[in-house]
Amino acid sequence: MSQGTLIVVAGPTASGKTAFSIRMAKALHTVIVSADSRQFYKEMQIGTAAPTSDELLEVKHYNIHNISINDTYTVADFEKETIALLEQLFQVHATVILTGGSGLFIDAVCQGIDPMPDITTEVRQKVGQQYREGGLSALQQAVQSLDPEYYASVDIQNPRRLQRALEICYQTGMTFSSFRKRQSEPRNFNIIKLALLWERDLLYDRIDRRVDQMMGQGLLEEARRLYPLRHLNALNTVGYKELFAFFDGQCTLEEAVAQIKLNTRHYAKRQMTWFRKDHGYNWFQPEAFEEALQYVHSKI
RNA sequence: GGUACCGUAGCUCAGUUGGUAGAGCAGAGGACUGAAAAUCCUCGUGUCACUGGUUCGAUUCCCGUCGGUACCA
């Protein structure tokens, strides 16, 4: 079994992960695996700031534009496929780069995710209906009686968390807690974690500029093409949902663009919260590439 | 020039029948194992435009000043 090294390049949106990773991949003569929860959708290109076709030619990328927004694709699928992929890549590369802004997806690759049964559409719909009819309190009561252990620790204001727990309860007749082992899956590769560090104001400026760039590249047209599919989960995404609101007449185009910038900043903030709490990350200024490379070499 | 209304948190505004004030947004911090670019939680002291008056006490009432808006000339 190969004992390769996975180099994680994380950071908030618009922090320059793509360029940084390409440089790193070239220096190490290897490839890039994306850990981004939107860039794998082939229908969404401009709004997800996926690598450009030129960039894709520079370095071989995986997990980019390989899924359709019509597919249901979860973190668990992502973890399974990416681990299998890494297995292959480490046959030929001593190091592989994992780049992305989705903390949950990165963690799934690095630590694994507890195996859980699939949820049928019937169960999913049942839970959805329960929420629609009974509201948050109905979910809270159900979780409290079906899985008191989870109820005691979960954020009971968060309908998503409660719904997920109920889905598992209904699907299996067992508690959600009983599946949540939260044990790290041993991986047969080493992991080095890097994150890109920006001063908040500068990052926000970059976000604003990048949104303008996206509009210049035809984000409006891309969104208009996808508008008929707007109810798909994959399209509940910054850069698209705001333009859908404009198409619906809920705001002006100018307001929609401003909202994209704002929501992107909020997203970046949440990403930083996620990465900050993981003390395994080593933070580097984007211009400190050589320093980062040196650090990587010292760890391999 | 006259009249009316407005001037309160970074922004939009609410409010105090006189006892020094609070929402939304922004911003900050946080949570988060199959919808995660999703979803959710926490955090609000500011010369209540300025000056003087009435009052035990004024951001609140009154006079004036300045700024804004509207209408009339």
Gap from A265 CA to B14 C1', Å: 29
Nearest protein residue, CA measured to C1' of B27 = A266
ipTM surpassing 0.90: yes
Predicted TM-score (pTM) of the model is 0.93
In this complex, the nucleotide whose C1' atom is nearest to the CA atom of residue A182 is B33
What pairs with residue A190 in β-bridges?
A5
- Mapping DSSP to helix (H, G, I), strand (E, B) and coil, where does residue A67 land? strand
At A13 the pLDDT is: 97
The pLDDT of residue A3 is 82
pLDDT at A85: 98
Closest nucleotide to A263's CA, by C1' atom? B37
A266, A270, A104, A106 alpha-carbon torsion, rounded to 10°: 90
Average pLDDT, chain A: 96
Q: Which of A239, A188, A268 shows the shortest CA–CA distance to A2?
A: A188
| Å between CA of A208 and C1' of B25 | 19
- 3-state secondary structure at position A194: strand
Output the DSSP codes for A123-147: HHHHHHHHHHHHHHHHHHHHHHHH-
**pLDDT tens digits, chain A, 300 residues: what are they?**
448 999 999 999 999 999 999 999 999 999 999 999 999 999 999 999 999 999 999 999 999 999 999 999 999 999 999 999 999 999 999 999 999 999 999 999 999 999 999 999 999 999 999 999 999 999 999 999 999 999 999 999 999 999 999 999 999 999 999 999 988 888 999 999 999 999 999 999 999 999 999 999 999 999 999 999 999 999 999 999 999 999 999 999 999 999 999 999 999 999 999 999 999 999 999 899 999 999 999 998
Answer yes or no: are the C-beta atoms of A93 and A30 closer than 8 Å: yes
For position A184, what pLDDT does the model report? Answer: 85
Q: Which nucleotide is nearest to A131 (CA to C1')?
A: B39
A262-CA/B70-C1' distance, Å: 34
Give strand ranges (E) for chain A: 5-10, 32-34, 61-62, 95-99, 190-196, 282-284
**Tokens of residue A93, six digits:** 């590369």
Positions in chain B where some atom is under 7 Å from a protein CB: 26-41
Q: How far is the CA of A275 from the C1' of B26 (A)?
A: 24
